[in-house]
Amino acid sequence: MTPTSDIPLTRQLVRHTRAKAASSDDLAMAALFVLDAVANMLGGRNSEPGRKLLRWAGNGPHKPTAPFDTGAHALLMGALTHILETDDLHRASVVHPGCVVVPAAWAVAMREGSTGPDFLRAVLEGFELTTRVGMGVGPAHYRIWHNTATCGPYGSAMAAATLLGLDEDATVDALGNAGSQSSGLWEFLDTGAMTKHLHAGHAAQAGVQAADLAALGFTGPPKILEGPRGFFAAACPDGDVTQVMSRADGPWQLVLTSMKPWPSCRHTHPAIDAALELHQTLHHAGPDDIHAITVETYRAAFDVCDRPHANSEYEAKFSLQHCIATALHDGDVTLGSFDDAARLKAHRMASGIEVKVVDPYASAYPRDWGSAVEVVMTDGTVHRAARDCAKGDPEAPLMPPDVVAKAIGLMEFGGVAEPQALAEALIALPLAEALPELPVFA
């Protein structure tokens, strides 16, 4: 489908976003999402890919003791934020906006000396752009392309353009050139390669560089989204560009974004939530007491997370079977639930779990991400729990104390010396004259 307006879609997006009012509550919510993203970033340092990224930043052409190129800084922070699989997720677009927008906005804001409120406004606008583009791409795009990687550059460019004070024409140029850099394929899933982290980092970097160039008058295509050789024509065979501007009078898309309580692919979360309920009843049952376990879910969850045998920590984070077996057996899913010992413990139960695509979950996606878990005992007893959404969704949000506790845990995992103080500084961004320093290289 094509837009009904003669105004290019990127220009419509810029006008819509710049005109949208941001209340004090909106800024406070944005600060919570920044806290969540920063905690993921700092926690991501304590991982094999995180250490490799820090070696690249410290031993490559960019030294942390010298001025660090803003685009490369955004790439590093974005990639770190997307490692532990505990960063936010916007359901309608299937985009992780925080790992792209927050690093890009942070890198530019630190360079420009922006205030906390100006930074948070840019974060709101960046979330709005990346998720609105994602709302239109369609399910066929997601089967090949990683939406965070392909839609992310629009959000990072918008956030950077706002912090740079670019006018409407220059912002459209930035979005055009950012969109032309959209890329990111799911092929990494077959081997558990580290590429997914690079997706977030590149999307953050692409937007920063596009905005910096636009500030110098470097032009970009105004119809990058809907043009005959644009993004939707190239990569969205069942996309609907009219969805990009849908429900424009609603709340900021950041407010409609979910936070993750568990460190695994978001597609596993409604089933984890259901399995944790069943654990309360079944925690005394042994493997010989269980006849069958079935997970009912939607197509995208099946396509990405039907993995009965997880051969690595990262594959386990994308395995419905491993996550459900762990939740049923342990009654919790933590950062330690995916290592060699955890996979070995869960293997027997996980290998026998069947995943099915069924309604109502199939037809409700992506509006709702739901699942059910059914356990049939050897004596014929059936136990079942179902979720229309997951913990952390707007319908069942994490409360601010929960977000702070999660963030402090992630920062402690990442070796941050004073996580409470940093968390308090990030929560206070709506009134801050400047952004605090982040111990990314510490």
| Cβ–Cβ < 8 Å for 202, 77 | no
Strand 353-357 and strand 371-377: the pairing is unpaired
pLDDT score for 261: 96
Confidence label for 68 from pLDDT (cuts 50, 70 and 90): low
pLDDT score for 5: 74
pTM of the full structure: 0.93
Domains 9-261+396-431 and 266-387 share a fold: no
What is the CATH number that goes with domain 266-387?
Answer: 3.30.1330.120
Q: Does domain 9-261+396-431 have CATH number 1.10.645.10?
A: no
- Mean local confidence (pLDDT), 108-113: 97
Tell me the pLDDT tens digit for each residue of 207-265. 999 999 999 999 999 999 999 999 999 999 999 999 999 999 999 999 999 999 999 99
- Domain segments of the chain: what residues? 9-261+396-431, 266-387
pLDDT score for 212: 98
CA distances from 434 to 29, 118, 166, 428, 429 (A): 18, 10, 21, 10, 8
Tell me the pLDDT tens digit for each residue of 159-181. 999 999 999 999 999 999 999 99
Confidence label for 60 from pLDDT (cuts 50, 70 and 90): low
Amino acid 95 reads V
| Cβ–Cβ < 8 Å for 137, 151 | yes
Amino acid 315 reads E
Tell me the pLDDT tens digit for each residue of 329-382. 999 999 999 999 999 999 999 999 999 999 999 999 988 999 999 999 999 999
pLDDT score for 98: 98
Which residue would you say has higher pLDDT here, 374 or 64?
374
